[in-house]
Structure 1
Amino acid sequence: MKNNHADLIKVIQKNFSRLSKGQKLIAQFITNNYDKAAFMTASKLGSRVGVSESTVVRFANALGYDGYPQLQKELQELIKTKLTTVQRLEMSTDYSNEGAVLKKVLKADMDNIKATIEEIDDEVFQEVVNNIFKAKRIYILGLRSSSTLAEYLGFYLNLILDNVKIVTAGVSDIYEQMLRVGKDDLVIGISFPRYSTNTLNALNYTKELGATVVGITDSQVSPIASISDYTLVARSNMVSFVDSLVAPLSLINALVVAVGMREKSEISSTFDRLEKIWEKHNVYNNKNTL
């Protein structure tokens, strides 16, 4: 099955006339309620529209999918870019019980990390580390909710390396901050649903200037994956109206540690100097209190 999730609704519309009566009911429900259908089992979807579970499975097959789980996965990819924050909030009925919220959210984050472990490409990860050391300059770009990840990655890489620049929004135009990007530089772009258009445009700009681009995102079909030389994928399946950035942060932690281990002796002396500075200026509270 090679259908692109971005064209899923068009695929349904194209095949609508040749579907059975029961399959047309499913098609109409998905087209009008794809945000709800994306999280329904085949059985639940069938019950909702008044058809059998096997009819739902045959519907997926009729559209060219190997089965309903594959169709459901495509639906979930679709809503990452289509759902507004209001729609996300409206579909959060499972989180209306405050007593259940804590465990549900933590469990969802655990699932994201587990999926990331299973899907991460070790060779690509090593190539990204290699390119970090080869780069003349390293630019880190992440906007909106991804700005937190960019700041975190930049903070720790700056303790290890001396050629790292975090591209920020608001202080000056992002293109001005990336004015000197060249073919010897590395640009790390971080983007998760709903994907920032400004991030995508800026990465395209640096690509045209010849820089190596690393994308940290949630899928190989993410908009920035298509322009990245190397793509590191971390799951961020949404939890209600909040983007889950736990797995991406864990991936960034691994990247920082991998870079740090190659510079172990150098960062040891760096942290030794920093500890003396922190102690002198009382940066941390080291006093024992009762």
Structure 2
Amino acid sequence: MSFCEQIKKRFIRLSRGQRKVAQFTIDNPNVIATHIASDVGKLIGVSESTVIRFCYAMELSGFSELQEKIRADLMGQEEKVEQSHPLISKRNVNLLNEVMNRDVASILNTINIINEEQFDRAIKLLHESECLYVLGLRQSSPSANFLTCTLSNYRRKVKQIQPLVENIVQQINSMEENALLFVIALEHKADDVLTITKMAKNRKAKVVVITHSCISSIRDNADVLLTVGSQKSALAETITAAHSLIHALVEGMVAQNKKQYTNFQKVNEQLGSNSLYTEKSLYI
């Protein structure tokens, strides 16, 4: 029996305030796993002491043990996640509404679980980094390409690491000290990405990670870890949430020095227009 199921069994015996904590825990396990007790209390609208009393009512030693129980639940859910899209096997006359509403739900869940301090730190690292490397393997590769192209509109020295093994090793080994490695790892298995982040940390690079899980093994090598989607989201919905988060991060970076970034964007667009004009003239 999962811990959330245990909460449901004891729900009726809890006080009114404790029931609020219980329901929030069931609905938002990622938040419980990644936030401190006082922050959880603020999100629910109860005191920190109510959160702690809920832990005691569940026969736990405190909030840390609650987090351990919830993380164990989340790990168990990850193992059961089906890779197939849930809509493939059934006809749905409201397919457009169904798919887009689930994308919206994935984005809304991301808003709830993102730690604002981590988000702000990611923006600061994007703004202050001299050289920025972007990594995304397999199904995360299109998201890495989206981030690379978006950042390249506003700043210099943005490089997307190519997926070939020899290229990865060479690029990581040539990485400047204090460079920033931005990793997008949305798949459930990411052992190779874990190895690459370790190599980057050995080069004294900063590492920002967007991942599908707050308990990802990559978190130990990350200076900033941002979680998107939910445990029940299909990969396509998680990717949608990741792109929305990327958009917010880039907007935040630009806001650090709007004049600098908009000037670079204008020059970049002008160079692109001149290049296109030159290419066309070759065929006249």
TM norm. shorter chain > 0.5: yes
Q: Which residue of 2 aligns with 1:200?
A: 194
CA distance in structure 2 between the aligned counterparts of 1:152 and 1:251, rounded to whole angstroms: 12
State the shift of 1:79 in Å.
Answer: 4.5
- Distance across 2 between alignment mates of 1:181 and 1:282: 35
Separation (CA, whole Å) in 2 of partners of 1:156 and 1:201:
26
Larger Rg: 1
More helix by share: 2
Q: 1:78 matched to which residue of 2? A: 76
Q: Distance in 1 between matches of 2:249 and 2:137?
A: 20
The one of 205, 213, 220 aligned to 1:226: 220
CA apart distance, 1:222:
1.3
Gaps of 5+ in 1: 4-60, 63-69, 284-290
Deviation digits for residues 98-121 of structure 1 (CA, Å, limit 9, x no counterpart): 424332221221111111111211
Q: CA 1:142/1:236 → structure 2, altered by over 3 Å: closer, same or farther? A: farther
Q: Determine if the alignment matches structure 1 residue 178 to structure 2 residue 172.
A: yes
- 1:212 aligned to 2:225? no
Specify whether residues 282 and 74 from structure 1 end up closer, same or farther in structure 2 by C-alpha distance, changes over 3 A only. farther
- Residue 145 of structure 1: aligned partner: 139
What is the SS of the residue equivalent to 2:93? helix
Using a 3 Å threshold, how does the CA distance of structure 1 residues 180 and 277 change in structure 2: closer, same or farther? Answer: closer
State the distance in 1 between where 2:77 and 2:264 align: 45
1:9-56 alpha-carbon deviations (Å, 9 max, x no partner): xxxxxxxxxxxxxxxxxxxxxxxxxxxxxxxxxxxxxxxxxxxxxxxx
- Quote the offset at 1:72 in angstroms: 9.8
Aligned-pair CA distance for 1:250: 0.4
Summarize deviations over 1:174-210 as a string: whole Å, max 9, x none: 1112112354121111111323322111111112222
**1:225 Cα deviation (Å)?**
1.7
What is residue 118 of structure 1 aligned with on the other side?
A: 112
Name whichever of 147-156 and 173-182 sits farther off: 173-182
Output the aligned Cα RMSD: 3.5
Question: Alignment length, in residue pairs?
Answer: 218
1:269 maps to 263
Structure 2 residue identity aligned to 1:268:
T
Aligned residue runs from structure 1 range 1-290, under 5 A: 77-81=75-79, 83=81, 85=83, 88=84, 92=86, 95-170=89-164, 172-237=166-231, 242=236, 244-280=238-274, 281=276
Pick closer, same or farther for the CA change 1:146–1:93 going to 2, 3 Å: closer
Secondary structure of 1:224's counterpart equals helix
Deviation at 1:248, TM superposition (A): 0.8
Identity %: 23
Measured after TM superposition, the shift of residue 227 of structure 1 is 2.0
**CA displacement at 1:247 relative to structure 2:** 0.8
Please state how far the C-alpha of 1:172 moved relative to its aligned partner.
4.5
Pair 179,241 (structure 1): closer, same or farther in 2 beyond 3 Å: closer
Task: Write the distance in 1 (CA, Å) between the matches of 2:271 and 2:130.
Answer: 28
Shift of 1:217: 1.0
Aligned mates of 2:97, 2:259 — CA distance in 1 = 41
RCO comparison, higher one (Cα < 8 Å, 6+): 2
The 3-state SS of whatever aligns with 1:213 is: strand
On the 8 A contact 1:141/1:190 being kept in 2, the answer is yes
User: Structure 1: how far apart are the matches of 2:212 and 2:123?
Assistant: 19
- TM-score, length-scaled by structure 1: 0.63
Q: SS where residue 173 of structure 2 aligns?
A: coil
Looking at structure 1, the residues matched to 194 and 157 of structure 2 have their Cα atoms a distance apart, in angstroms, of 23
Compared with structure 1, are the counterparts of its residues 126 and 96 closer, same or farther at alpha carbon in structure 2 (3 Å cutoff)? same
Q: Give secondary structure in 1 for the equivalent of 2:182.
A: strand
Task: Please report how far the alpha carbon of residue 173 of structure 1 lies from its aligned counterpart in structure 2 after TM superposition.
Answer: 2.8
TM-score, normalised to structure 2, is: 0.65
How far apart, in 2, do the equivalents of 1:231 and 1:131 lie?
Answer: 13
